[in-house]
């Protein structure tokens, strides 16, 4: 052991005696390790965002939304087109009965959450702000894994009677109830006062848009029983006297399918939106049943809508898995490119160590003449290469962690440095030093002592 410690001491002296060359040799390892850690941090951040999105859209969910077509002023050239255009006028659109049929008829369905969405305004104590008002059922919170931070969910009686109650997002609570408990207080939504029964727990929405996945920002929304919206706000499936004759005193509310006016639950409707509800979220019991369930739902809705396909079906989980696969491939490419830096750094170590062997031939000859064995020479030069790569790995880890934080601050991209990435990078850097340092070490050991002593 004492012999090997002495050899290591000689190797360290040689490294420190040529500091500048050693630093240049370690640069390849430093930047390689830093690049690998930074790229893996970006990949971990992307994976976490995908997993968070999967939690937000729910597990095994199917999103059904209406499709609106612009009504053209010109006439159709063919009788077939005229027939299609004429049939579309009589489609009932998405209705609560559609949601009930899906729940009651299809055995693979676990839960169904219909939703009515209006863009309106809220008023309290002189503060007015725009907000999204959603009419939902109790299944909504379970489908999207939402929980309350305070208060209670809607009761069955409140749901059936269309009571004037609501659950608000945390942003609404902090803005309109900054110094008081919102539970039991009233807030005016459009022309209707709603009693707050609960406040949602804050949901981290990240920086990615979720509109294509069928979800909105839960933190800034107000939720009321769907019967409350249909009875007290607007039911687009109902024909009223106000909807026929119009009412100029109505309050205007913009829905996703158009702009609506109402007063005490009635008003003039936009012709482009004939759907009673704006979205149906269907949760399937098993992932394997998603595709089959989509086919059954599509056939059922086409039949119920008079053979008019005026709806769109999306499977967010499949979209997210496809996006995750794309990001995984991209991260593998980035990791491979970053790993090339480590290989280049290893080649640099080998080149410098080979040059060092050529410069120190006489030193090698003296050591071998004074009793050093070939294995001692190999161990000495291998120790030098390993120490350089080891030091470069440490510095590279620090630089990689710092680079990951800088990327997150400057580009707003989530980066997560995992212990695994640090361990892998450090292990690879040491392995590179040993592998690429062995050839110069072996070449040094194969020198003829007599010829080495004659070398100038």
pLDDT digits (tens, 9 = 90+) for 361-409: 777 777 777 777 878 888 877 888 888 888 888 898 999 999 999 988 8
Sequence-separated contacts (24+) of 237-241 with Cβ below 8 Å = 237/92, 237/93, 237/95, 237/274, 237/276, 240/266, 241/266
Q: Smallest Cα–Cα separation from 262: which of 138, 168, 133, 173?
A: 133
Give yes or no for residue 225 having a pLDDT over 90.
yes
Among 87-91, 201-205, 261-265, top mean pLDDT goes to: 201-205
264: Cβ contacts below 8 Å, ≥ 6 apart: 191, 232
pLDDT exceeds cutoff 60 at 72: no
Largest Cα–Cα separation, the chain: 113
* pLDDT reading at 96 higher than 80: yes
Is the confidence at residue 249, as pLDDT, over 50? no
pLDDT tens-digit readout, 318-341 = 665 666 676 677 667 766 776 777
Q: pLDDT at residue 342 above 50? A: yes
CA atoms within 13 A on the CB side of 169: 18
Question: DSSP letters along 267-284, please?
Answer: -PPPTT---S-SEEEEEE
Question: pLDDT, tens digit, for every residue of 37-60?
Answer: 888 888 788 777 766 666 666 667
Q: Is the pLDDT of residue 244 over 60?
A: no
More confident residue, 216 or 188: 188
Provide the pLDDT for residue 268.
Answer: 35
* Domain coordinates in residue numbering, the chain: 2-54+323-454, 68-309
């Amino acid at each position: 052991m004492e012999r090997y410690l002495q050899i290591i001491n000689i190797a360290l002296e040689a490294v420190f005696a040529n500091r500048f060359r050693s630093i240049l040799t370690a640069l390849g390892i430093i930047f390689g390790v830093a690049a690998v850690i930074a790229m893996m941090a970006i990949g971990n951040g992307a994976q976490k965002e995908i997993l968070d999105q999967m939690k937000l859209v729910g597990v095994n969910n199917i999103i059904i939304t209406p499709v609106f077509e612009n009504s053209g002023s010109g006439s159709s050239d063919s009788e077939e087109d005229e027939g299609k255009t004429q049939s579309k006028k009589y489609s009932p659109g998405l209705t609560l009965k559609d949601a009930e049929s899906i729940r009651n008829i299809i055995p693979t369905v676990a839960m169904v959450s219909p939703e009515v969405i209006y863009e309106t305004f809220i008023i309290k104590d002189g503060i007015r702000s725009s907000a999204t008002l959603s009419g939902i059922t109790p299944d909504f919170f379970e489908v999207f894994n939402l929980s309350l931070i305070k208060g209670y969910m809607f009761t069955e009686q409140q749901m059936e009677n269309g009571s004037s109650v609501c659950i608000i997002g945390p942003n609404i609570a902090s803005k309109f109830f900054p110094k008081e408990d919102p539970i039991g207080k009233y807030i005016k939504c459009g022309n209707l006062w709603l009693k707050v029964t609960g406040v949602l727990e804050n949901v981290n929405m990240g920086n990615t848009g979720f509109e294509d996945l069928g979800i909105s920002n839960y933190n800034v929304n107000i939720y009321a029983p769907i019967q409350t919206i249909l009875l007290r706000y607007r039911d687009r499936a109902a024909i009223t006297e106000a909807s026929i004759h119009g009412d100029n005193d109505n309050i205007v509310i913009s829905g996703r399918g158009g702009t609506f006016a109402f007063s005490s639950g009635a008003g003039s409707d936009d012709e482009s939106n004939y759907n009673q509800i704006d979205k149906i979220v269907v949760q399937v019991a098993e992932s394997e049943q998603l595709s089959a369930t989509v086919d059954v739902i599509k056939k059922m809705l086409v039949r119920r809508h008079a053979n008019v396909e005026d709806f769109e079906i999306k499977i967010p989980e499949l979209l997210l898995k496809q996006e995750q696969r794309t990001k995984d491939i991209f991260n593998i490419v980035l990791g491979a490119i970053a790993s090339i830096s480590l290989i280049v750094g290893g080649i640099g170590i080998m080149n410098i160590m080979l040059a060092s062997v050529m410069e120190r031939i006489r030193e090698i000859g003296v050591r071998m003449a004074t009793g050093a064995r070939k294995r001692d020479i190999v161990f000495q030069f291998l120790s030098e290469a390993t120490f350089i790569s080891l030091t470069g790995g440490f510095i590279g880890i620090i630089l990689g962690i710092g680079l990951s934080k800088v990327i997150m601050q400057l580009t707003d991209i989530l980066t997560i440095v995992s212990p695994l990435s640090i361990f892998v990078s450090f292990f690879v850097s040491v392995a590179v030093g040993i592998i690429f340092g062995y050839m110069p070490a072996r070449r040094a050991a194969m020198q003829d002592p007599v010829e080495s002593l004659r070398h100038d």
